[in-house]
Amino acid sequence: MAVQTAEMQGMNGFRQMQLIVTPNFPISAFLSISFTHHTSILAHAKSYEARTFYIQFAADYKVKCEDLEQLMKDDLFGHQGQLPNNFKKTIPNQLQAYRAIKMFKDEYLLNYINTEELFVRDKDRDERVIEQGIINNVKNFIMTFGRDFTFVGNQYHLEKFGIEQFPDLLFFNRELSALVCVELKDGPFKTAYLGQLAGYLRILDDEVRKPNENPSIGIILCKNANKKFVEYVIQDYDRPMGVATYKTSADMDDRLKSLLPSIDDLKGLL
């Protein structure tokens, strides 16, 4: 009996998986992930577009099947490209603007943050805990955040006219060829955050960006935000910015939270 080539085996796999092969179908990605990955994708992703997305994602990041299942439950595909932003207005190259829009999600799951340390009243401490959790798990954060990110540093030192500034997280994205500045906010979105981020981006472009790189992009990562309001106010800024939200494993049902004693009560018991 003739030995099947990888391509022939792949075509049989397409038929078994009931996948339609189009000119843009990620054939090499399909062949590089396991049968278990494929069955999981079929079980959790219902549309053709979602299935091809997860096939390519699993191949690109070499994601374990259990991790991929969690990402599908969190609807990674559905959150892609939904970020409130001003990229079309502030990035002259429309292809670059489209890439930036597709690069970021509107919500991220940071389930590796130490949830016990978040139950404190000091807002600045909360943000530092989240920042440290991301740094300690930067590989997971980058996998969640998107493709081709390189971590540059946290509390990155900037200075202009003797005034020091310290953006929370700084990345470089190869596909966008741009620095990406991420500001963490433990609480709801505030318009003042946009002004702060715009200042960081101005200094980054003037002092850090290389001549061959595209303008820096800023992302505010906060606990919650009204997307329509963000889209309304962000258009007045001339720096590429977007606002995303995040969840941690500390985000539990409000009813369950109400059953827990307050911090003051716990202190009293101690």
Using one digit for the tens of pLDDT, what is the confidence trace for 221-245? 999 999 999 999 999 999 999 999 9
Q: Walk me through the domains of the chain, giving residue ranges and CATH numbers.
A: 6-78 (no CATH), 81-256 (3.40.1350.10)
SS3 assignment, position 194 = helix
Which residue bears the tokens 């292809």? Answer: 95
What's the pLDDT at 1?
A: 42
Q: Could you tell me the pTM of the whole model?
A: 0.67
To the nearest 10°, report the CA torsion of 165, 183, 145, 160. Answer: -20
Nearest to 172 by CA among 150, 192, 190, 157: 150
Residue 202 sits at φ, ψ, to 5 deg, of -60, -45
Nearest to 42 by CA among 56, 55, 33, 23: 55
Give the chain's mean pLDDT. Answer: 80
Amino acid letter, residue 223: K
What's the pLDDT at 3?
A: 40
For residue 186, give both structure tokens.
Answer: 């433990």
SS3 assignment, position 12 = helix
184 pairs with which residues across the strands?
Answer: 221
Mean pLDDT of 26-53: 90
* Percent of the chain surpassing pLDDT 90: 42
For residue 242, give both structure tokens.
Answer: 């977007």
Residue 12 sits at φ, ψ, to 5 deg, of -65, -40
- Over residues 156-165, the pLDDT tens digits come to 999 999 999 9
What's the pLDDT at 110?
A: 81
The string of DSSP codes covering 58-95 is HHHHT--HHHHHHHHHTTHHHHBT---B-HHHH-SSHH
